[in-house]
Amino acid sequence: MSGDPALEIRARVAFGSGPDAFVLDADLPLPGRGVTALFGSSGCGKTTLLRAMAGLVRPQPGRIVVGGEVWQDDAAGVWLPTHRRALGVVFQEASLFPHLSVQGNLDFGEKRVPAAQRRIALDQAIGLLGIGHLLARRPSQLSGGERQRVAIARALATSPRLLLMDEPLAALDAARKAELLPYFERLQRELRIPILYVSHSLDEVARLATHLVLLDAGRVLASGPTGELLTRLDLPLAHGDTASTVIDGELAAIEAEWGLLQVRFAGGLLHCVQAAGSPARRVGERLRLRVLARDVSLTLAPAQDTSVLNVLPTTVRVMADDGPAQTLVALDAGGTTLLARVTRKSAYALRLAAGQRLFAQVKGVAVLD
């Protein structure tokens, strides 16, 4: 993905002992940059992992090693307090000092690190988060989205090796979320710092995360590129109504008269509706798309006279039942896995089988960024 070295996280911590204990046992090689999403059902240990890494809770016994540095090892009597761990933390609610201005909050973050160890200049953090015009304000004079941007800049001001984010968008309404998302994209494009990001929203994960870690009852169920894990039929994300494929492509043409974008990827060309209010686009730019499995139908021959613009030649990779009446079909579209969710009856009628060539009709494509 990049030349940046991976950051190895090893965490083994326990709350309590015996049958009621909660044990978290996770080895995570994080890519050296970009967003890694931590995803899993309620109670699987996402927040515990983040808080234990940050030293905000101390489940015992525990051992936490990040990038070769031991931050907690109860067997050896090692415990590094939060301020000595080279990480930045951003929570759902920005915890800024109310009596300090934005500048004061940022200075506080910067002073935590000796000048010789600073790797991110305050100006860079201010520029990345677009908060230059807010420096004189107090936190109470900021909107929720602005507060969160300042909180992220303050975390960056500490020159962390790693950023931890626990549902940083969850407290914001849809409009504020949309306002903040481009900043996250910018962070992952421009910073060489891995971001470990807890979210309950598959939309957010699909949009932001290049890497995904699925936790289940304190253990890593799977870890890998987001697009790959979303479409693995042996994993829960590929099932149900939200099952989808993430496709990274390049803008091939803008059909302004039809309000459409043509996006090319290895499996062919997809037409996408250009959403109202979406940013101006340039031919050649990279775009991330999401296709819901339920929006993909299958035909043995390319249909004539259809209203569906997107028809891709594909090969069936693998299939799995999804509930009593549906079948999930993982298709190979030029090396990208595309999921289709069809009725079991249709799968039977088309005699679907691994290796079969057929055409995927894609009814809806969302542009994620």
Query: Using CB under 6 A, which of the segments 42-50, 68-76, 240-248, 320-328 binds ligand ATP?
Result: 42-50
Question: Strand 162-166 relative to strand 87-90: parallel, antiparallel, unpaired?
Answer: parallel
Amino acid occupying residue 365: V
- By CB under 6 A, tell whether 22 contacts ligand ATP: yes
Specify the residue, 242 or 346, whose C-beta has the smaller distance to ligand ATP. 242
Position 46 contacts ligand ATP (CB under 6 A): yes
Q: How far is CA 304 from CA 61, 225, 301, 357, in A?
A: 65, 36, 9, 18
With binding defined as CB under 6 A, does residue 42 bind ligand ATP? yes
Q: Please work out the total of residues on this chain that contact ligand ATP, with binding judged by CB under 6 A.
A: 11
What is the signed CA dihedral for 121, 124, 128, 129, rounded to 10 degrees? 60
What is the C-alpha separation between 55 and 346, in angstroms, rounded?
53
With CB under 6 A as the contact rule, the residue among 44, 191, 328, 368 that binds ligand ATP is: 44
Among 48, 101, 245, 337, binds ligand ATP (CB under 6 A): 48
- Which of these segments, 37-45, 146-154, 189-197, 292-300, binds ligand ATP (CB under 6 A)? 37-45
SS3 226: helix
Among 6, 10, 14, 15, binds ligand ATP (CB under 6 A): 15
* Shortest reach from residue 157's CB to ligand ATP, in Å: 27
Q: Shortest Cβ distance from residue 88 to ligand ATP (Å)?
A: 19
Q: Minimum Å distance from CB 243 to ligand ATP? A: 20
Q: Shortest distance, CB of residue 147 to ligand ATP, whole angstroms?
A: 21
CB of 281 to ligand ATP, least distance (A): 35
Indicate whether 242 belongs to the interface with ligand ATP (CB under 6 A): no
Token pair 């679907």: residue: 352
Query: Are 157 and 118 within 8 A, CB to CB?
Result: no
DSSP string, 338-349: EEEEEEHHHHHH
Residue 45 binds ligand ATP (CB under 6 A) = yes
Q: Judged by CB under 6 A, does residue 92 bind ligand ATP?
A: no
Element spanning 265, H or E: strand 260-265
What single string gives the DSSP state of each residue in 4-50? SPPEEEEEEEEESSGGG-EEEEEEEEE-SSEEEEEE-STTSSHHHHH
| DSSP structure string for 345-364 | HHHHHTT--TT-EEEEEE--
* Selected binder of ligand ATP within 1, 5, 43, 275 (CB under 6 A): 43
Name the minimum Å distance from CB 138 to ligand ATP. Answer: 30
Taking the least distance from each CB to ligand ATP, the nearer of 49 and 287 is 49
Stretch of residues binding ligand ATP (CB under 6 A), selected from 36-44, 247-255, 272-280, 320-328? 36-44
Residue 181 burial by Cβ neighbours in a 10 Å radius (0-12, 13-18, 19+): middle
- 356 neighbors 315 (Cβ within 8 angstroms): yes
Shortest spacing between CB 240 and ligand ATP, in angstroms: 17
Which residues contact ligand ATP (rule: CB under 6 A)?
Answer: 15-16, 22, 40, 42-48
